[in-house]
Amino acid sequence: MSGVDIYALAKRLWPINRSITGDGVRETLRIIKEQLPTLLIHELPSGTPVFDWNIPKEWRVRDAYIIAPCGTKFCEFKKNNLHLVGYSTPVRATLSLSDLKKNLYTLPDQPNAIPYITSYYEERWGFCLKHEDFLKLVDGKYEIFIDSELFDGSLTYGELFIPGELKDEVFLSTYVCHPSMANNELSGPCVTTFIAKELLKKNRKYSYRIVFVPETIGSIAYLSQNIDQLKSKVIAGFNVSCVGDNRAYSYLPSRCGSTLSDLVAKHVLRNIDPSYSIYSWGDRGSDESQYCAPGVDLPIASIMRTKYGQFPEYHTSLDDLFSVVTPPGLEGGFEALWRAIEALEQHCFPKVTVFCEPQLGKRGLYPTLSTKSGNPEVRLMTDLITWSDGHRSLIEIADLCSCPVWDLYPIMEKLGEHGLIKAT
Amino acid sequence: MSGVDIYALAKRLWPINRSITGDGVRETLRIIKEQLPTLLIHELPSGTPVFDWNIPKEWRVRDAYIIAPCGTKFCEFKKNNLHLVGYSTPVRATLSLSDLKKNLYTLPDQPNAIPYITSYYEERWGFCLKHEDFLKLVDGKYEIFIDSELFDGSLTYGELFIPGELKDEVFLSTYVCHPSMANNELSGPCVTTFIAKELLKKNRKYSYRIVFVPETIGSIAYLSQNIDQLKSKVIAGFNVSCVGDNRAYSYLPSRCGSTLSDLVAKHVLRNIDPSYSIYSWGDRGSDESQYCAPGVDLPIASIMRTKYGQFPEYHTSLDDLFSVVTPPGLEGGFEALWRAIEALEQHCFPKVTVFCEPQLGKRGLYPTLSTKSGNPEVRLMTDLITWSDGHRSLIEIADLCSCPVWDLYPIMEKLGEHGLIKAT
Amino acid sequence: MSGVDIYALAKRLWPINRSITGDGVRETLRIIKEQLPTLLIHELPSGTPVFDWNIPKEWRVRDAYIIAPCGTKFCEFKKNNLHLVGYSTPVRATLSLSDLKKNLYTLPDQPNAIPYITSYYEERWGFCLKHEDFLKLVDGKYEIFIDSELFDGSLTYGELFIPGELKDEVFLSTYVCHPSMANNELSGPCVTTFIAKELLKKNRKYSYRIVFVPETIGSIAYLSQNIDQLKSKVIAGFNVSCVGDNRAYSYLPSRCGSTLSDLVAKHVLRNIDPSYSIYSWGDRGSDESQYCAPGVDLPIASIMRTKYGQFPEYHTSLDDLFSVVTPPGLEGGFEALWRAIEALEQHCFPKVTVFCEPQLGKRGLYPTLSTKSGNPEVRLMTDLITWSDGHRSLIEIADLCSCPVWDLYPIMEKLGEHGLIKAT
């Protein structure tokens, strides 16, 4: 998989104004459906109760800007959709600078960044701008123009089911509610799209259920519709977010911390990048909070590049497709997730079929001359055999052998052909 | 609670000649009963078998001293009750210095300290004095006078029962057998008295059973009378000793090491003083040895200031109410124990009542504007919620949230009022 | 036990040409049987299937050497049996130097060492020599002479059963297939012989089963004949190898890692030599691979001096009875194994017979005067008592008391005499 292809999809999705509802989400899912034709698109009406929440009104925005006393337009939504506070109500007004300022948001510590601000559950309006531009504003009358609507519409999400040999499911979730930001969050839906494409090319042991939802309300809505199904079928899964920059690998556990997903994620990341960052459940901040909530308790962990909240560009206009997210960054994110999926597919408890060491020599698998020095390949084979007691998983065995689990796949295959090992 | 009040009680009890039996214990308990009118005072006759032991004879002492060749009195019991070896038999004799020396005890390494020596189970007599005074003794005839008695009397102890909502009991034990020494041991009975007074002021979930006993023989006697009762009812408790100096906090585990008392003691001390001393069961030396003995196995841990045996003044006349035990020292000892008792009272396994995160915003518990920076108070609330799965205790949750459990009490109350959490 | 006696046996066995079959094994076992008259000697015919293997042909060698172009003999088997590759087929040929070299083995990194090479399961021939001698070989015709045979004979091993009070067995295994090398492996059979002699002198709680087998094929053969018996009876045991040099102590775990044998081995070695080397199952390389194979899973650990593969002389002519194996080295190997066997014999779960601390004073086991300083011997006794709850083994208690388990044997005896402790 080349990161260039994933990057191309990210560039195409970049300008769309995504939020937790609205046409931006629909357009995003439509483009993803071009890549994944079996993607189903669901609509949940505003007001639908979902656990402790209700689906909010849908937000539509056509245009928004401010005209300065000198007549120049700024904070133009059409130039950068971060300029408008998410879910801003419609406004047409003329305000003094001091009144306007009550509705302006900046980041004094990052004067060249437009902050990302939303107000989903309290009706208000506002504009976001660079602090360096904010400082240049002069006294006078400002014309505010926000052509938006909050109305009874629906919340939109996508769902893709890829059947496998087993009914047991691997669950992937990513979110499509962020406007023009790159690592958090165009990287998640883009990498997930290509993971799905790759899965569709092969035979799979497990079935895969992949959702593209708005964060928090979307995952809560999805869970409220599917919780029993998910609890009975999902054996592992990942929340896919922040998988696009090339600066780090990160792991955030499930709430339980020791699910199969955790085991796999830690093994894969340790073997890809021993210096990967290990976060705790206390550092959570995305949909894993819902999937692993008490009583929900799905086995969902997170494999990331640099985690949300941990990079300076986070939730600002600086989180872009130029200096933050790159093709190698996306490719690394894809690679880590794919290694994890492979490890799930290969997950088993190997069991040797004979008592004592098998005689590998008569099968051509062992050197016939016994000398002082050993052979690392043969050693790895005998190590795999000695741990194959039917009680240790292949991943645990890889850890015991101090090697990545993928080094064991060809040996498992060879020993299986000779009838010496069974994958129980 | 002010340490000054506890200190005043200690000053009043200071001069009394306590031992494992006798009028000193009775007088001490009488004064404590002034503070705790429902205190019951029990007498167990000499000779009563208590497990592997028998209640010893009662010891009464009216006076004791030595007259030097020059005619001056020294080692006067009435000036310092440590001068007389505990349980000394009556003597009237004239001895040469060399014969006298066989019955004199000093501490060459602490020449200005009178040591504390007892001989409960072997009849002998002796005097204790400062090594610097011992060195000044000159040859000649010494008159020995000990007006004491060992007779069939009884062993005295106090017991206070404070009923709570539940029949389950918290057990506190402290000892009243040490003559004029301060940290070990007037601090224990004094702090325990004020803990009991504080408990009597409030509604309690648990019942409390508090005993004031002579060390070792007293706790063995109490156990031999009440073991079945204690084993069926006591859910936690502490041996209260060395809680009066202001130099350190210390924890000594139960023999098991992982009882609720241990969990609470470690949590409280870690949050009061991260540099608190952690001892092991191998360092035990007080009544926990009996309460946690094999087959007894009560959940009793120790919360202390500076542990017995670990301060230079230990078991000498230097363990006083001036340089060792102070009002702030006693107040800190009280505080730590009280925090532990509160943590027991609040002990529960919280369980959130909704699936996924509750919508805190609609209840005014969450900021309506989503910005880059978080809110630590809201974070602590959502952390408490996410861990409230009914399987983790509130103390474990506090540890997971890296905060003292007492920071969670008001949040538990607020979430309880909103029906979002139950204390199971 | 003096290491000198063990060393004398090693010197006597040294010149014999041992291999996995043949008269060298028989002669070795015959000499051991002089020391252990009840040793049974078994023969298993060539071709017998043993799990995944078959007993190989027997190898007999009468003589072997090379004659150089100048007429001098070298690589003389009769001078050093390492000169001939183990299981070499018979040859009579005249070869050019370049053809000869295809069958010569040397160690360029250890030019003064003859390597130890075998080819049990592929028919070939070869000679081993010092690399410094190899470099002196000149062009010309070389006469090769190997008077050997591979024929349907049998595999020979020894088995000694020493009955004890219980049917439960301790299993010891060592190997007799190495030609003239000292630490790996004459030390194992020699030390094991003297362990057996010592066992025969005393009453034993456990029965002992001790086998002298060729490595790998011998242990596999023995297991294939006795696996059900061994699995039902063996409660602990050791593979005895590399117990003769005086440079280190080493532990290699069972595959499980936490059997009684592991507990004992680690305790003994930690207390004999705190700097002992701890290996992992990944470092295995002897018959423990068979005894602990999946499905076999006997509780067999290894107590060694310097482990095979970890000393420079390993598997060369430099592993000798002069600079490597010494009387003190053998004595230390014996001592460690004997301490382990004693610890197995003493293994129990002590249980105190009274509630609370027993009154040691009335039994003369406790000082009658209570002073500030303690008594370490009395402390160890009370520590043993406090941990004797019937749930902790004597070895675990020794660890809790930070002492070798052998320090507790006399205290257990004394407390037992006073009826205060039972060994459950």
Q: What percent of chain A has pLDDT over 90?
A: 95
The three-state DSSP-derived secondary structure of C268-307 is HHHHHCCCCEECCHHHCCCCHHHHCCCCCCCCEEEEECCC
**Shortest distance, CA B387 to any CA of chain A (angstroms):** 7
Closest residue of chain B to A224, computed from CA coordinates: B355
pLDDT given at position B328: 98
Closest residue of chain A to C283, computed from CA coordinates: A383
For the stretch A356-403, pLDDT in tens is: 999 999 998 888 777 777 788 899 999 999 999 999 999 999 999 999
Which of C355, C369, C370 minimises the CB distance to B293?
C355
- Cβ distance C51 to A356 less than 8 Å, yes or no, reads yes
Distance from C-alpha of B161 to C-alpha of B385, rounded to nearest angstrom: 37
Beta bridge partners of B147: B63
Q: Tell whether A51 is within 8 A of chain B (Cβ).
A: yes
- Cβ distance B52 to C389 less than 8 Å, yes or no, reads no
- Cβ distance B294 to C368 less than 8 Å, yes or no, reads no
pLDDT given at position B375: 83
Helix axes B3-13, B187-200, angle to 10 degrees: 130
Of A41-45, B152-156, C376-380, C405-409, the poorest mean pLDDT is in C376-380
| pLDDT at position C270 over 90 | yes
pLDDT given at position A368: 78
- Cβ distance C119 to A361 less than 8 Å, yes or no, reads no
Closest residue of chain B to C350, computed from CA coordinates: B294
Q: Tell whether A281 is within 8 A of chain B (Cβ).
A: yes
Residue A413's CB is within 10 A of a number of other CB atoms, namely 10
Do residues C82 and C113 make contact, with C-beta atoms less than 8 angstroms apart?
no
- State both tokens at B111: 């020449």
Q: Tell whether A367 is within 8 A of chain C (Cβ).
A: no
- Cβ distance C369 to B118 less than 8 Å, yes or no, reads yes
Give the 3-state secondary structure of residue B25: helix
Q: What percent of chain B has pLDDT over 90?
A: 95
Which of A124, A224, A293 minimises the CB distance to B357?
A293
Angstrom distances, CA of residue A419 to CA of A205, A351, A378, A415:
21, 11, 17, 6
Region B129-140: mean pLDDT is 97
pLDDT given at position C367: 82
What sign does the dihedral A125-A131-A132-A134 (CA atoms) show?
A: positive
Q: Which residues in A lie closer than 8 A to residue B356 (C-beta atoms)? A: 51-53, 219-220, 223-224, 289-290, 293, 296
C12: left (phi over 0), alpha (psi -120 to 50) or beta: alpha
Q: Tell whether A117 is within 8 A of chain B (Cβ).
A: yes
Q: Which chains touch B (3 or more CB pairs under 8 A)?
A: A, C
Residue whose structure tokens are 């009243």: B176
Angstrom distances, CA of residue A104 to CA of A94, B180, B256:
14, 72, 60
pLDDT given at position C368: 78
Distance from C-alpha of A231 to C-alpha of A217, rounded to nearest angstrom: 19
Task: Summarize chain B as % helix, strand, coil (round to 5).
Answer: 35, 25, 45
Element (H, E) at B96: strand B91-96
pLDDT given at position A14: 97
Do residues B111 and B130 make contact, with C-beta atoms less than 8 angstroms apart?
yes
Angstrom distances, CA of residue A151 to CA of A22, A335, C55, C63:
10, 41, 85, 102
- Cβ distance A119 to B368 less than 8 Å, yes or no, reads yes
For the purposes of burial, counting CB atoms within 10 Å of the CB of B300, is it exposed (0-12), middle (13-18) or buried (19 or more)?
Answer: buried
Q: Tell whether A282 is within 8 A of chain B (Cβ).
A: yes
Region C23-39: mean pLDDT is 98
pLDDT given at position C366: 86
Distance from C-alpha of B144 to C-alpha of B93, rounded to nearest angstrom: 5
Count how many pairs of residues, chain A against chain B, have C-beta atoms within 8 Å.
81
Which ipTM value was assigned to this complex? 0.94
Do residues A42 and A157 make contact, with C-beta atoms less than 8 angstroms apart?
yes
Give the 3-state secondary structure of residue A380: helix
Helix intervals (H) in C206-276: 217-233, 260-272
Q: Which residues in A lie closer than 8 A to residue C128 (C-beta atoms)? A: none
**Shortest distance, CA A111 to any CA of chain C (angstroms):** 56
Q: Tell whether A116 is within 8 A of chain B (Cβ).
A: yes
Distance from C-alpha of C385 to C-alpha of C388, rounded to nearest angstrom: 5
Nearest-CA neighbor of C209 among C236, C188, C187, C185? C236
Q: Using CA atoms in the order C416, C421, C423, C424, what is the torsion angle rounded to 10 degrees?
A: 150
Q: Which residues in C lie closer than 8 A to residue B55 (C-beta atoms)? A: none
- State both tokens at A112: 């060249």
Q: Which residues in B lie closer than 8 A to residue C368 (C-beta atoms)? A: 119, 121-122, 124
Which of A216, A295, A315 minimises the CB distance to B355?
A295
Beta bridge partners of B65: B145
Closest residue of chain A to B374, computed from CA coordinates: A309
Distance from C-alpha of B14 to C-alpha of A423, rounded to nearest angstrom: 75
- Cβ distance B352 to A122 less than 8 Å, yes or no, reads no
For the stretch B65-99, pLDDT in tens is: 999 999 999 999 999 999 999 999 999 999 999 99
Interface test with B, best of A52, A131, A226, A291 (most B CBs within 10 A): A52
Distance from C-alpha of C282 to C-alpha of B74, rounded to nearest angstrom: 74
Residue whose structure tokens are 């009104």: A57
Closest residue of chain B to C420, computed from CA coordinates: B52
Q: Which chains touch C (3 or more CB pairs under 8 A)?
A: A, B
Query: In sequence order, which residues have a C-beta less than 8 Å from that of residue A37 and are 6 or more positions away?
Result: none
pLDDT given at position B371: 75
Which of A119, A290, A314 minimises the CB distance to B369?
A119
For the stretch A267-301, pLDDT in tens is: 999 999 999 999 999 999 999 999 999 999 999 99
Instruction: Tell me which residues of chain A, numbers 221 to 240, contact chain B at a CB-CB cutoff of 8 Å.
Output: 223-224, 227
**Shortest distance, CA C344 to any CA of chain B (angstroms):** 24
pTM attached to this predicted model? 0.93
First to last CA, chain A: 31
| pLDDT at position C345 over 90 | yes
Q: Which chains touch A (3 or more CB pairs under 8 A)?
A: B, C
- Cβ distance A118 to B370 less than 8 Å, yes or no, reads yes
For the stretch C367-376, pLDDT in tens is: 877 777 778 8
**Shortest distance, CA B19 to any CA of chain C (angstroms):** 13
For the stretch C293-314, pLDDT in tens is: 999 999 999 999 999 999 999 9
**Shortest distance, CA C391 to any CA of chain B (angstroms):** 10
For the purposes of burial, counting CB atoms within 10 Å of the CB of C310, is it exposed (0-12), middle (13-18) or buried (19 or more)?
Answer: middle
pLDDT given at position B376: 86
Query: In sequence order, which residues have a C-beta less than 8 Å from that of residue B311 and are 6 or more positions away?
Result: B183, B245, B247, B319, B324
- State both tokens at C67: 């004659």
Q: Which residues in B lie closer than 8 A to residue A121 (C-beta atoms)? A: 359, 361-362, 368
Interface test with B, best of C356, C368, C379, C382 (most B CBs within 10 A): C356
- Cβ distance C358 to B117 less than 8 Å, yes or no, reads no
For the stretch C309-330, pLDDT in tens is: 999 999 999 999 999 999 999 9
Region B23-49: mean pLDDT is 98
**Shortest distance, CA B359 to any CA of chain A (angstroms):** 6
Interface test with C, best of B105, B121, B231, B300 (most C CBs within 10 A): B121
Nearest-CA neighbor of C144 among C178, C181, C102? C102
Distance from C-alpha of C77 to C-alpha of C91, rounded to nearest angstrom: 14
Mean pLDDT of chain B: 97
| pLDDT at position B368 over 90 | no
Region B6-30: mean pLDDT is 98
Q: Which residues in A lie closer than 8 A to residue B384 (C-beta atoms)? A: none
pLDDT bin (cut points 50, 70, 90) of residue A120 is very high
pLDDT bin (cut points 50, 70, 90) of residue C260 is very high
For the stretch B335-353, pLDDT in tens is: 999 999 999 999 999 999 9
- Cβ distance B370 to A119 less than 8 Å, yes or no, reads yes
Element (H, E) at A45: strand A40-45
pLDDT given at position B102: 97
Q: Which residues in C lie closer than 8 A to residue B118 (C-beta atoms)? A: 369-370
Which of B370, B382, B388 minimises the CB distance to A294?
B388
Mean pLDDT of chain A: 97
For the stretch A57-77, pLDDT in tens is: 999 999 999 999 999 999 999
Helix axes A409-417, A327-346, angle to 10 degrees: 30
Distance from C-alpha of A209 to C-alpha of C26, rounded to nearest angstrom: 67
Distance from C-alpha of C91 to C-alpha of C125, rounded to nearest angstrom: 8
- Cβ distance C361 to B293 less than 8 Å, yes or no, reads no
